[in-house]
Amino acid sequence: MEKAFKNLLKSKLAYLTNHKLLLAVSGGVDSVVLTYLCHAAKLDFSIAHCNFHLREGACDEDETFVKNLAEKLNVDFYVEQFNTNKYAEEQGVSTQMAARDLRYNWFNELRFRNQFEYILTAHHANDDLETFFINLIRGTGLEGLSGIKEVNNAIVRPLLGFSRSRIEVYAEANNIEWREDYTNAETKYIRNKIRHHLVPMLEEMNPKFLESFLKTQSHLRENEALVEDYLSLLYPKIISKSAYGYNLDINYLKKIPNTPAVLYQLLKTFDFTEWDDVYNLLNAQPGKVLFSKTHRLVKDREYLILTERNQIEDKVYKITKNDEFAMLPMGTFSFNKVEEIVEKNKNCIYVNPDKLNYPLTVRKWQNGDYFYPFGMKGKKKISDYFKDKKLSLPEKENTWLLCSGNEIVWVINMRADRRFAITSPRQEIVKITCNP
């Protein structure tokens, strides 16, 4: 049986021959067995070990063990020290998440720096099974039950089809030494409970449970793939890129079946949680807004507009009297004295320099702002002006104002204020241009 296991693995590893590999080795039985199998298969690999400093002493002993293994097999050894608890605290994530982030970030760094083609990890079928139950117990979706893929981008998990016990039997039969696996404290209780109580109970009811489970997961992955295929068909029909983010076509969304499920799939990576509210947004008043931790969804007339939250800035830029040019995020300004008004377009205004109060400022619109629109009578609230122009919320937010003191000179690239306009032909004229 151990020979069969080795041969199976050998054929699985065959396609990795002549590729430069990075092997993630914790020192546990799984990764040590994988190391020996890669060595036996004469693969070109280096070893990477993360020291998460989560257990007094034991972590350092793990590190030494893996270092000695690398020396024994005469392969390159990379090691990195992490302050996992500090990172977890800073990022506000669990220790487990922190360790995963740190681990994969470092692996990727190593990969690019040293041109490794694949990263090999020793995940096996029981890991997948335990993750299935952890997710199920917490509540999850299809993606939480369908398991990880054996090959996903540059990460390869050759042991994924094999059980922990099969790997341990092989290790013992071949006198392979390993360090007892360390599961971090947070998930230790729940993972151990699954491993030692739940799974044995399921295996009592079906001795071939793990085998059935692998088939079940492969069915689930197939379904997941079909959902992906369907969304790839829908995506270009629903979503278009706009200047400020993405537009989702409301009419199309209403036309298709299972709209809430489609909305969930399209937006699930943007941290929304109140999915009923997201769905109800389709029929809400234009202007209604929903926030996630990172994103914002605005109901406009024909679209739901998705933008990043951090795109909304409230900076104020200054332009002094000496500036002939100013390169600002919303465009490049130029200030020129001209003899007469020759060309009129959205990108320029002509003003009376005597009225300007330097330094000028460029800022976003605020509630309560008003101006005296050129070509109209009286004063007007900026918000009403936006409403007349039927601007969407992101369009409003991305409109800048050129101000002189507290007075608005120009709703930039839209409309001048008549208080600064040229009223007599003998006046000095300054042409202000903003090219977005």
Compute how many other C-beta atoms are within 10 angstroms of the C-beta atom of residue 401.
21
Which long-range contacts link 167-173 to residues 24+ away (Cβ below 8 Å)?
167/29, 167/30, 167/33, 167/124, 168/29, 169/1, 169/2, 169/5, 170/2, 170/5, 170/6, 170/33, 171/29, 171/32, 171/33, 173/2
Q: How far is the CB of 225 from a copy of itself (least distance, A)?
A: 5
Q: Site for a copy of itself (CB under 8 A): which residue of 3, 42, 138, 377?
A: 138
Q: Site for a copy of itself (CB under 8 A): which residue of 74, 152, 258, 269?
A: 258
Interaction of residue 230 with a copy of itself, rule CB under 8 A:
yes
Q: Is 31 annotated as a binding residue?
A: yes
Interaction of residue 90 with a copy of itself, rule CB under 8 A:
no
Measured from the CB atom, the residue of 224 and 369 that comes closer to a copy of itself is 224
Q: Site for a copy of itself (CB under 8 A): which residue of 96, 247, 265, 404?
A: 265
Looking at residues 97 to 136 of the shown chain, list those that interact with a copy of itself (rule: CB under 8 A). 136
Q: Site for a copy of itself (CB under 8 A): which residue of 148, 154, 227, 284?
A: 227
Q: Is 29 annotated as a binding residue?
A: yes
Measured from the CB atom, the residue of 136 and 376 that comes closer to a copy of itself is 136
* Distance between CA atoms of residues 133 and 123, nearest Å: 16
Q: Is 27 annotated as a binding residue?
A: yes
Q: CB within 8 A of 153, min separation 6: which ones?
A: none
Q: How far is the CB of 206 from a copy of itself (least distance, A)?
A: 5
DSSP helix/strand/coil, 246? strand
Q: How far is the CB of 334 from a copy of itself (least distance, A)?
A: 52
Q: How far is the CB of 202 from a copy of itself (least distance, A)?
A: 6
Interaction of residue 212 with a copy of itself, rule CB under 8 A:
yes
Interaction of residue 224 with a copy of itself, rule CB under 8 A:
yes
CB of 5 closer than 8 Å to CB of 166: yes
CB of 301 closer than 8 Å to CB of 310: no
Measured from the CB atom, the residue of 138 and 426 that comes closer to a copy of itself is 138
* Distance between CA atoms of residues 5 and 9, nearest Å: 6
Residue 78 — left, alpha, or beta (φ > 0 → left; ψ -120 to 50 → alpha)? beta
User: H/E element holding 381?
Assistant: strand 380-381
User: H/E element holding 119?
Assistant: strand 118-120
Q: Site for a copy of itself (CB under 8 A): which residue of 57, 180, 233, 339?
A: 233
Q: Which residues bind a copy of itself (CB under 8 A)?
A: 136-142, 144-145, 190, 193, 197-198, 201-202, 204-206, 209, 211-213, 215-216, 219-220, 222-227, 229-231, 233, 256-258, 260-262, 264-265
